[in-house]
Chains A and B, each alone.
Chain A
Amino acid sequence: MQEFLQQIVSGIATGGIFASLALALVLIYNAMGLVNFAQGEMAMFATFIAFTLIARGVSYWIAFPLTLVIAFAGGIAIQRIVIRPVERAPILTLVIVTLGLATLLNGLAGFIFGYLPRSFPSPFSVQTVDILGALASYRDLGVIAVSAVVLLAIYLLLQHTTVGLTMRAAAHHPEASRLLGVRVSWMLALGWGLASAVGAVSGIMAAPILLLEPNMMQTIIIYAFAAAVLGGIESPLGAVVGGVIVGVTVNLAGAYIPFVGGDLQLAVALAIIVAVLVLKPNGLFGRPNVRRV
């Protein structure tokens, strides 16, 4: 029982990492109906920036927010420079552009920082604390806390500020929003900036566990896809719940289903994607796609 609880806590922590990246996917999907295949590589690149800052002697708790600001600006720059010229192109074109962007960022990171895996500092120790009989590591609890704060901040921004309101308006009804004076194109850019920053959180939380290298996020992005699809791809809350469910499921499957172990965990995520798409295509929180005729 105790070990079971430990697996759940550690699953929630992993889930927080998935949830952040899944939320980044949802933000961009909502803004333009596009799955951003470069989201993981953007997060990886931001993590390298954090790594560089820390290596130059900047303290972790300054490097962390600073990286988010840089990632935010970088996301806006990517939208303005790479995405905006093809904004009105067919969705397949946009998908290919994000795939190209992913390859570009991956190669660029390899070129600048090399492919050698590097250990990334965590501000939380790996020592454990006893919670109701279960041993939880400070690192897991720290990841859960940081993810929770970030996700809550995004929620408050979207639901309770004017800028969040105009972002949601621009995402769902660009034409009607323009007629109300909303600068739709900038709202999309802001969406990319936010997604980039949230994704960066996921990368920075994942790096101490996985070791930092250019391909670090390539498995995480699959889990994030699973989380986003499970939550219903359009729903920010769904992405968070989906992230936690995927994290816990994958962790428990790895620990208790003998043939899964550490090798087939990714297959569990893919199984979740397939199962959701077959059984409940709108996910847990998605609305059915009904059109009035």
Chain B
Amino acid sequence: MPALLELDEVRAGYGPTSVLHGVSLSVPEGEVVSLLGANGAGKTTTLRAITGGVRWTGDIRFAGRSLRGMHTEDVVRGGIAHVPEGRGILTELTVEENLKLGSYLRRDGPAVRKDYDRAFEYFPVLRERRRLSASTLSGGEQQMLALARALLMRPKLMLLDEPSLGLAPMIVRSIFEMIRTINQADRVTVLLVEQNARLALDISSHAYVLEVGRVAVEGASTELKGNESVRRSYLGY
């Protein structure tokens, strides 16, 4: 499988503080790849670099094309859905309006309607609450809304930043089930940033562990899971 997303020696930072010191990774089409590591290792910054939220050097290629110099809006329109830290829910708007912002750029009307039906089938609670303000949703429901909205963008690639953050274990499990479904049934490639390494390794095929802005370890998820010393020193469980 060719790589859908490739990062080549990417360096990035905020002003004078540099956060990524040359990150290279590759996400094959159709797979779930996880990006693990401690707080401050540069996971979120890596995702932000991909969608142009932070200046970077090196090279980032998506579907064979370099993303160098592209604005966030154009990267996203090219087929990358980024569910950011904190989920990016527009709390001033209703649930339905949030979903509409996922699909408003699409011109394939009948397919959009089908995608709405599927999103509501995955997350029935969103249909019930669609007229309510998104601010009334619980954390888990907001995460569902973020995933449903990302799905409606019909992306080739989803970047998910800590989907488990702040959620109860039972809800986390169902969210991860959905990520698996989105990957397998909807054929969306996923780059998943997680603190919860165990969960992430369970659903990904390949994983990278970042340590202070560099890739410290990489490998097949099953291998990393089986490697006692990697688990102890990097994954903390």
Contact = CB atoms under 8 A, between A and B. Distances in A.
Partners in one complex: yes
Interface of A: 162, 165-166, 168-169, 172-173, 175-184
Contacts of A178: 53, 71-73, 76
A179 B77 contact: no
A181 B92 contact: no
Contacts of A176: 84, 88-90
B101 A172 contact: no
Contacts of A179: 51, 53, 72, 76, 82, 84, 88
22 contacts: A162-B104, A165-B100, A165-B101, A165-B104, A168-B93, A169-B93, A172-B90, A172-B91, A172-B93, A173-B91, A175-B53, A175-B88, A176-B89, A178-B53, A178-B76, A180-B76, A180-B102, A180-B149, A181-B76, A181-B105, A182-B73, A184-B73
Contact of B90 (A162, A169, A184): A169
A183 B73 contact: yes
B153 interface: yes
B141 interface: no
Contacts of B104: 162, 165-166
A177 B51 CA distance: 13
B115 interface: no
B97 interface: yes
Nearest to A186: B73
A67 to B, nearest CB: 31
B50 to A, nearest CB: 11
Interface string B94-132: 000100111011000000000000000000000000000
Nearest to B152: A180
A180 B89 contact: no
Given A165-B97, A165-B104, A173-B88, A181 B82 contact: no
Interface string B146-160: 000100010000000
A267 to B, nearest CB: 36
Contacts of B93: 165, 168-169, 172
Contacts of B153: 180-181
A193 to B, nearest CB: 19
Interface in B69-85: 71-73, 76-77, 82, 84
Contacts of A180: 76, 88, 101-102, 149, 153
A242 B90 CA distance: 27
Given A165-B97, A178-B53, 12 more contacts: A165-B104, A168-B92, A169-B90, A169-B93, A169-B101, A173-B91, A178-B71, A178-B73, A178-B76, A179-B53, A179-B88, A183-B73
A166 B73 CA distance: 13
A162 B101 CA distance: 8
A97 B93 CA distance: 31
Contacts of A162: 100, 104
B103 to A, nearest CB: 10
A4 B151 CA distance: 59
A165 B97 CA distance: 7
Contacts of A172: 90-93
A162 B102 CA distance: 12
Contacts of A183: 73
Given A179-B72, A179-B82, A181-B105, A173 B77 contact: no
A177 B93 CA distance: 12
B101 A166 contact: yes
Across chains A and B, which 7 residue pairs bring their CB atoms closest together, nearest first? A176-B88, A172-B92, A178-B72, A181-B76, A180-B101, A181-B77, A173-B90
Contacts of A184: 73
A177 B82 CA distance: 11
B51, B84, B90 pick with most chain A CB within 10 angstroms: B90
A46 B91 CA distance: 36
A5 B82 CA distance: 58
B90 A177 contact: yes
Contacts of B82: 179
A165 B76 CA distance: 18
Contacts of B53: 175, 178-179
Nearest to A184: B73
Contact of A182 (B51, B84, B101, B149): B101
A289 to B, nearest CB: 13
A165 B103 CA distance: 12
Contacts of B97: 165, 169
A59 B76 CA distance: 47
Contacts of B88: 173, 175-176, 179-180
Nearest to A176: B88
A165, A172, A173, A178 pick with most chain B CB within 10 angstroms: A178
Contacts of B51: 179
A182 B72 CA distance: 9
